[in-house]
Every structure is written in structure tokens, then in C-alpha cells.
Amino acid sequence: MNSDANPVLTLALTFALMSLFAVGGANSAIPEMHRVAVDVHHWLTDKQFTDVYAIAQLSPGPNVLIVTLIGYSVAGLAGALVATLAMCVPTALLALFVSRFLARSSHTRWPSIVQTALVPLSIGLMGASGFILARTSDRTVVAVLVTVCAAVLASVTKLNPLWMLVAGGCLGFAGLIG
């Protein structure tokens, strides 16, 4: 694929299309972002992709802003802007349109059926996201332990997730992650 001809245009088309398939939110689309950015277009290496994910998690704001970083890596400021808008605006307009439509018509049971049908898909996609990122990231026993501890702590306690990210960063800095 000749993606170098106009990277900004490629970004716009890629993320606009991807957003339409992001059922259950931005984290469900991470496997697709990885496939497109690392395997198809070679915009980022595997390690750079997990770094970008880590930076996005460390920063405030909606999870979707990982595309801002990917866009920036590909084409600087213009890339960041275009990737962000392409990922957000088409589906937001769709949501606006559907919400107006539903406000006018009587509520049917379709939204509930569609939602029930989509939930397992979006959980499966998020699980795949974790798996794909972990294949690059969790290469040592300590690294796996950090992932498992963060998963357990976040499941059973109300601890602010930021502390787990900081703890992971400290262990990494100490050279324990590998």
C-alpha cells in the first residue's frame, strides 16, 4: 500500500473508518490500531506502540487520544489534528443523529437488543487489546507480575489507577522490568 504519498490523508481515512468499528469505545479499537500502525503501514515499531499506549494512559483526557499520538508520530501537528478529528467526529455526528431520531420516535427494544449483542464483542476486543500489548511488554517474570498485580488491585480495590502506573514506572526505572 502506498501510504507515503500523503500520510495525512491516509491517517484521515484510516481512523474515520476505524472509528465506525470501535464498538465499546476506543480501547476496543487498539488491536486494529496496532495492526494498521505496526503491521500494515509500519508507522511505529511494536515497542513504540506500547510506549505510545503507556504515554496515553499517563496523560489526562479520554482514552481515544492515543490516536493523537499515533497521528503525531506519522505526520507531526497536522497528523495529530487530523487523526484526532477523524477518529472522533464521524461517530459523534452519528450519535447525535441517532439520539435525535430516538428522541422523536418511541423507544423500541432494539437499542437494548443491540447493546446486549455488542457487549461480548467489545469485551473480547478489549481482551485482545490487552493480549496484543502484553506480548510486547510482558517479557519478564516481574513484568507479568506487575500486570497481574495491577489487574487484581484495580479489580478489588478503589485505589486510584494512577498510583499503579507510577509504581510500574518506578519498577521500570529501577531496571526490574527488563
Partner 1 sequence: MSSDLPSDLSPAAAAASDHSTSVSNPPSLLRLFVAFAKMSLAGFGGVLVWARRGIVDEHKWMTADEFNETFALCHFLPGPNIVNLTFVFGSRLRGLPGSIAAFSGLVGPPALIMVVMGALYHRYGEIDALRRILSGVACAAIGLMLAVVLRMMMPLFKRRDVIGLLTLVATFIAIGVFRLPLASVLLVAIPLSIAVTFAMRRKEAA
Least Å distance, CB 157 to partner 1, is 10
Least Å distance, CB 5 to partner 1, is 22
Nearest to 87 by CA among 56, 116, 58: 56
Long-range CB contacts (< 8 A, 24+ apart) of 134-143?
Answer: 136/46, 136/47, 136/49, 136/50, 137/50, 139/178, 140/177, 140/178, 142/171, 142/176, 142/177, 142/178, 143/177, 143/178
Q: Which is nearer to partner 1, 9 or 170 (CB)?
A: 170
Nearest to 81 by CA among 12, 26, 21, 29: 12
Least Å distance, CB 10 to partner 1, is 16
Q: Which is nearer to partner 1, 9 or 20 (CB)?
A: 20
Nearest to 167 by CA among 154, 69, 131: 154
Q: Which is nearer to partner 1, 8 or 128 (CB)?
A: 128
Q: Which is nearer to partner 1, 42 or 100 (CB)?
A: 100
Least Å distance, CB 90 to partner 1, is 7
Least Å distance, CB 12 to partner 1, is 15
| CA distance linking residue 178 with residue 171, whole number of Å | 10
| CA distance linking residue 164 with residue 147, whole number of Å | 10
| CA distance linking residue 167 with residue 43, whole number of Å | 30
Least Å distance, CB 6 to partner 1, is 20
